[in-house]
Amino acid sequence: MFQVNIGMIGGGTVGSGVFHHLQNNRALLQSRLGLKISLSRVAVKALDEPRPYPIPRSVMSTDWTAVVNDPGIQVIIELVGGTTLARTMILTALRLGKPVITANKALLFEHGPELFAAARQFGTNLYYEASVAGGIPIIKALREGFVGNRITHLYGIVNGTCNYILTRMKLEGLDFAPTLKEAQRLGYAEADPSLDIGGSDSEHKIGILASLAHGFWVAPGEMHVEGIRSIGRADMEFAAKLGYTIKLLGVVKLVSGDKGGKRTVIQASVYPALIPNAHVLASVNYVYNAVLVRGDVVGDTLFYGRGAGKDATASAVLSDIADAALDLKHGSRGRIPPFVARGPAGRVLPIREVVSRYYLRLDVVDKPGTLAKISSILAALRIGISSVIQPEGHEGESVPLILMCHDAPNAAMEAALAKIGRLPVVKSTPVMLRVEDFG
């Protein structure tokens, strides 16, 4: 029977999970694939480091080059993370003609074109199902399941840390800072949580999905990214009164092109947004992830599950092991190329040109004429107000003022906020969130 020998670099949380579940489900996987699989060598930083699942000392090494260069190893799994040494590891394996499986979203986002070009040049393949949304098979779905669709919309809740924080803020009426500390205590947030709560982690994942969906590489710096630090308990409460839930949302929309050789233009953004409570994404809570994909043929589809962790990520790596093994058995470099341009190179629409609805929270002095001053600024920039919430206060005191605004370009709203923020009656920096109706 055909046998595939695998070497893995990284034996920590995810790596030990891959080793454990491959041992447990090896017979099942082999019976389904009709071939043998052997994970025979694992490169680690230290032989005695703690691991969620044990790895036999006999298969471990502290020399990753010995694993990659072993002529008996046919497939390499990279699970070390980072964008420097991991890049060297992957390129070394690809130059030897060995397929590589990775969960490294940051590396793919920053160096994807180089890595995929190397795979093509040396006649091999790069597999990356585990790089986005953990155990949710979203990469395979976009690349293969929707191969006959134009992807018109994609929305993702893809960071479990942010979703956990926002869920608890909503359901328990908590403020941001203590909720973050509790997430850190429970292990849902890192000691330095900036990559998550600042939006960069979601940017990496949504950038990969946008590139895959539209056939051109969305480069670092092209996406508009906002995190969740500015969201307070008051925003959760007012959003609920208005019938919305706040989520950190990755948004990819086809704006124009993608037919008849025209240049594809897309929106690709990450920001906190108000989602109608009736929409299915509003009920995605705690550490769970979800991705909604809308195709021109299939319509709306939803993918839901755990987006991180040793077991969910291991499931995605096992899927890539199966694909890599079958491709080797049948002499295929990959059934469907990862990124296929469909005409002139596409572009990402600058956020200033993106049209949205808006939620606006202001801290204002409660006195006659305050709302008139604010509404006149919005009117001058052709921004309509759809609803207003102003809790009763005492004249002269500071009170929240909540405005829901009609569709307008982001540039117009930015200009309005700059002017509104300079009004003497406005006592703190305005909070602006976009509203997504999934139209």
153 — pLDDT class (breaks 50, 70, 90): very high
pTM of the model: 0.94
Tell me if residue 365 falls in helix, strand or coil: strand
Residue 35 in any domain: the answer is yes
- For residue 37, give the nearest of 66, 88, 2, 78 by alpha carbon: 2
156 — pLDDT class (breaks 50, 70, 90): very high
- Is there a single domain that holds both residue 197 and residue 250? yes
- Is there a single domain that holds both residue 119 and residue 25? yes
Q: What pLDDT is recorded for position 429?
A: 93
- Is there a single domain that holds both residue 155 and residue 257? yes
Residue 258 in any domain: the answer is yes
Which tens digits make up the pLDDT trace of 276-314?
Answer: 999 999 999 999 999 999 999 999 999 999 988 889 999
Please check the confidence at residue 341 and state whether its pLDDT lies above 70: no
Q: Report CA-CA distances (Å) from 268 to 203, 208, 230, 274.
A: 9, 11, 21, 17
- Is there a single domain that holds both residue 366 and residue 394? yes
Q: What pLDDT is recorded for position 396?
A: 63
CATH of residue 62's domain is 3.40.50.720
Q: What pLDDT is recorded for position 259?
A: 66
Residues 59 and 40 sit within 8 Å (Cβ to Cβ): yes
Enter the tokens of residue 356.
């949205």
Tell me if residue 227 falls in helix, strand or coil: coil
How far apart (Å, rounded) are the C-alpha atoms in residues 15 and 347? 36
- Is there a single domain that holds both residue 392 and residue 423? yes
**Domain boundary, last residue among 102, 127, 152:** 127
Residue 337 in any domain: the answer is no
CATH of residue 367's domain is 3.30.70.260
- Is there a single domain that holds both residue 206 and residue 168? yes
- How many domains would you assign to the chain? 3
- Is there a single domain that holds both residue 362 and residue 302? no
Residue 315 in any domain: the answer is no
Phi-psi group of 412: left, alpha or beta (phi > 0 → left; psi -120 to 50 → alpha; rest → beta): alpha
Active-site residues, by number, are 205
- Is there a single domain that holds both residue 163 and residue 269? yes
**Domain boundary, last residue among 295, 321, 348:** 348
How far apart (Å, rounded) are the C-alpha atoms in residues 86 and 64? 10
Q: What pLDDT is recorded for position 395?
A: 62
Q: Which residues pair with 355 in a beta bridge?
A: 409
- Is there a single domain that holds both residue 178 and residue 266? yes
What's the mean per-residue pLDDT of the chain?
A: 93
CATH of residue 158's domain is 3.30.360.10
Residue 325 in any domain: the answer is no
**Domain boundary, last residue among 98, 127, 156:** 127
- Is there a single domain that holds both residue 56 and residue 159? no
Q: What is the 3-state secondary structure of the chain? A: CCEEEEEEECCCHHHHHHHHHHHHHHHHHHHHHCCEEEEEEEECCCCCCCCCCCCCHHHEECCHHHHHHCCCCCEEEECCCCCCHHHHHHHHHHHCCCCEEECCHHHHHHHHHHHHHHHHHCCCCEECHHHCCCCCCHHHHHHHHCCCCCEEEEEEECCHHHHHHHHHHHHHCCCHHHHHHHHHHCCCCCCCCHHHHCCHHHHHHHHHHHHHHHCCCCCCCCCEECCCCCCCHHHHHHHHHCCEEEEEEEEEEEEECCCCCCCCEEEEEEEEEEEECCCHHHHCCCCEEEEEEEECCCEEEEEEEECCCHHHHHHHHHHHHHHHHHHHHCCCCCCCCCCCCCCCCCEECCHHHCEEEEEEEEEEECCCCHHHHHHHHHHHCCCCEEEEECCCCCCCCEEEEEEEEEEEEHHHHHHHHHHHHCCCCECCCCEEEEECCCC
Which amino acid would we find at residue 261? Answer: G
Q: What pLDDT is recorded for position 186?
A: 86
Please check the confidence at residue 394 and state whether its pLDDT lies above 80: no
- Is there a single domain that holds both residue 279 and residue 158? yes
Which tens digits make up the pLDDT trace of 59-89?
Answer: 999 999 999 999 999 999 999 999 999 999 9
Domain encompassing residue 65? 3-127
- Is there a single domain that holds both residue 188 and residue 42? no
Residue 276 in any domain: the answer is yes
Residue 321 in any domain: the answer is no
Residue 326 in any domain: the answer is no
